[in-house]
Amino acid sequence: MSTHVTEVRIERRRDGHYADVPRPRLTWLVETDTQDWHQSAAELRLDGEQIAQLETSESVLVDWPFAPLSPRARHRIEVRVTGSDGQVSEWSDPVEIRATFLGAGEWQADFIELAAPEGIASPGLMRTEFEAAREVTAAVLYATAQGVYQVSINGRDVDDAVLKPGWTSYQYRIEHECTDVTELVRQGENAIGVRFAGCWYTEEYGFHGAGRRFYGEQPAVAAQLHLTYTDGTTEVVATGPQWKGAATGPLVSSSLYHGERIDARRVESGWDAPGFDDHAWPGAQVRAVDVVPEAMVAEPVRRTEELSVREVITTPSGRTVLDFGQNLVGRLRVRVTGPAGHVITLRHAEVLEHGELGTRPLREAKATDHLVLSGGEDVFEPEFTFHGFRYAEVGDWPGEVDPAAVTAVVITSDMRRTGWFESSHELVNRLHENVVWGMRGNFVSVPTDCPQRNERLGWTGDIQVFSPTASTLFDSHAFLTGWLRDVAAEQAGNGGVCGFVIPQVLEGGGEPAAAWGDATTVVPLVLYERFGDLDTLRDHFPSMKAWADVLLQKAGRKGLWEGDFQFGDWLDPDSPPAHPGEAKTDKDLVATAHVIRSARLVARAAGILGHEQESQHYAQEADRVLHAFHAAFVEPGGRMSSDTQTAYAMAIVFDLVDEETAGLMGDRLAELVAEAGDTIGTGFVGTPIISDALTRTGHAEVAGKLLLQTKVPSWLYAVTMGATTVWERWDSMLPDGTINPGQMTSFNHYAFGAVADWLYRSLAGLAPAAPGYRKLRIAPTPVVGIDHATARHETPYGMAESSWRIEGGEMTVRALIPANTTATIELPGRTEQQVGSGTYEFSVADPR
């Protein structure tokens, strides 16, 4: 029998072994051919010398057992484990941990901006030179921006990340990168260059032509380079007034929404190398910034894929449009030769409408790049913006467009993929891939609603409903943990209210709204359930309480949240195109249900954290509001005052009624679906939970009909219309190929894709039964129309799988349970069974 530790991980980022805190938690994965293997002890070895012996069965997010790390520290860590059978593994391969945080008072860099910007939101270059007097043994760069940037040293970029440092609530929190640049620094003369632009910091936010700059008019950058010499001495090179800056270089203008103008004639050769003549560059201007940058929490945004042109289209009006076959987020890389000063125009859109580029959904966003040729061979790729598109219209290309000269570069926060689903139904498989692509396009530093129009905001309602799916498809632990820090900061500055969007940049967006602000109570518990992260739950608990207190105050003595603005069951398919909030379900019903839900979630979190008094308090408050909810909205015989799919789904899934009443409501919900011709009747609130409501009340066959429906409104309608991401509206495009007439239409919105979590947990039958998947539940729910389904998920303990196939009246189920976990097997017609790690196969009669 063989047992070995295959991987050692440091919380939280998965793109390297980075520690953003002095005491990082450790996770290790074990592979073994021993059935039902459990860890009884573990040993950790630091730098080949210090050994910590841990009498623990836990292997996920284990507390750091050594002295705290120092800033810029590097250490090697190894792990070996002892199984309950007494067998001891070999030591794992060593992993090098790099500390990315700074010590107290170590941040020395000034934020600097252009002294002479060319207009508002002016991109530019900053530079300095320094001498490394002796041989350098280590060079570590800390850098950040109010805006976005890239650093180069001696003519080479320091890394492959883009749009650094990402978007945070700048007035409260700014993150810095920490990059090993030892190989780029040489003894003698060196130069540091910074390219930068405004992006999120200088963009105008708002709707209907009323956008406004929320943060500032100009970007600023800050950097400090820590040098360690062979003799042990150190030096810090930091941004300050001695740096030089100019609104020069090929990037003429840059906007998140509108795109970039790049002039290849303005290339400054050698500007980031020693000896460059910068006498004409003004000195940098120092900006006072009160926020001390902190270490980056999540993986940065990177280029993750490239797509070639699938088809060159000549539109009815004679324009040239490139089709990349996939709605994506990123930009174009273009290689072209033409006359000096000639301008190529690239316009981006997600769809074609009657053969022409469909730009109306972009609203005020121009999503257009202008490329000015140098006269030689040029390679262009916008750097500080991105677009959501499948199609690109190319204007004024010199000669005939060569499709091989244009590549779509996909960008996303560089999370590791952890979830895969496959079934016998190709449309369902494509739906799942659409959800994956939608997440990739909307997880660009913050969880956004859409990536293409003049919005791209961190809408809390979207991530509230999608966070379980996000935690299945990708390792979004670090990403969501970082975002929650902004949530907490914004709440602290807004009386406990979690606003419509985080970062909060909208006028009026700081008001409470049910199902939106509830992200602050939902997401931390999702991270606990899916990743076993108790620390984030503990850290965010004050913000959870603050939100629940806001809601309970709104409910007041009457126990009902009434009369305030609400999004309600946003984008109910029956709402008029121009009025997406006019849903069938009473908004006060939706609001009050979420008061109960959030109060209960806080009570649950308090219980997990051992705060018994607070747990009892919030549970009692939830019961008080529940009593008022019943009196106002629940009628005799299990009917809701709003006789809608969403109302019943909430009552069932949020446990607002007893089991008997839930059964009656499930029957009524199934009737409503049938009355609608097996089409969906829910918006943002009801859609993520309707399949669970039906399955939980014994109507899985109705959930199956909803899933496989292709008429509008349904999940598969968009797929039949050629969608490659999830749409914002059920009918974002009408059957005749016309874009929905509503002012708000996106073809890349992940909220309705929250059904993917049900595909994993219920249809394929792979679900967590204890925090972090320490225990799994294997309980597939086959439906008519699908003959096999497989879900694979890389849990914190390793790969897990549940798959089933039906042939000849028999269902065969296969389960893969990772080492150091257990599973409950629940199959029709069989007694519930507990198993340990290993691979299992079962057969039962077709239960459909």
Residue the block writes with tokens 């530079």: 127
488 contacts: CB under 8 Å, gap ≥ 6: 520, 539, 540, 542, 543
The DSSP code for 474 is B
**Phi and psi torsions of 439, nearest 5°:** -65, -45
User: What's the DSSP call for residue 265?
Assistant: G
**β-bridge partners, 403:** none
Sheet with strand 822-825: strands edge to edge: 766-768, 775-778, 822-825, 833-835
Omega before residue 451 within 30° of 0, cis: no
* Helix, strand, coil percentages in the chain from 3-state DSSP, rounded to 5: 25, 30, 45
DSSP secondary structure letters along 500-539: SBSS--STTTTS--TTTTTHHHHHHHHHHHHH--HHHHHH
Neighbours of 353 (CB within 10 A): 15
The two tokens of residue 829 are 């017609």
Please, are residues 767 and 779 in contact by the beta-carbon 8 Å criterion?
yes
Residue 144 and residue 174 in contact, taking contact as beta carbons nearer than 8 Å: yes
Instruction: Give buried/exposed letters for 567-604 (b at 16+ CB in 10 A, else e).
Output: bbbbbbbebeeeebbebbbbbbbbbbbbbbbbbbbbbb
Neighbours of 130 (CB within 10 A): 15
Burial track 781-798 (b if 16+ CB lie within 10 A, e otherwise): bbbeebebbbbbbbbbbb
How does DSSP assign 715-774, residue by residue? HHHHHHTT-SS--SSTTSB-TTSPBPSSS---S---GGGGHHHHIIIIII-EEESSGGGS
What are 609's two structure tokens?
């954290």
Burial of 172 (0-12, 13-18, 19+ CB in 10 A): middle
Quote the CA–CA distance of 44 and 195 in Å, as a whole number: 42
- As given in the structure block, the two tokens for residue 49 are 């010398």
- With CA atoms as reference, report the closest residue to 52 among 61, 60, 63: 63
User: CA 59 to CA 53: how far, in whole Å?
Assistant: 13
Tokens 């899985």 found at: 700
**Which active-site residues does the annotation give?**
455, 728
Compute the distance between CA of residue 545 and CA of residue 525 in angstroms, rounded to an integer: 13
Q: How far is CA 400 from the centre of its chain?
A: 39
